[in-house]
Amino acid sequence: MGHRKISIVCLANSILYFKFTVCLMAILVWNLFRSRRQQSTIKGNHSCSQVCKF
């Protein structure tokens, strides 16, 4: 039973890490996209971090 619980915790941690990584990638891509069009990336960062809260 204990081993099973540990594996569930590991799975949850890896899912959170995956979400975090995807979030960072999205922010980076968004910044690249925004900086090519215009310089005001701060607003984009704010909305992205709002989406990425978990």
pTM (predicted TM-score): 0.47
Task: Return d(Cα 28, Cα 13) in angstroms, integer.
Answer: 23
Task: Return d(Cα 44, Cα 13) in angstroms, integer.
Answer: 27
Cβ atoms 30, 44 nearer than 8 A: yes
Joined tokens for residue 2: 């204990």
pLDDT digits (tens, 9 = 90+) for 18-47: 988 998 999 899 888 877 766 554 555 555
**What does the pLDDT read at residue 50?**
59
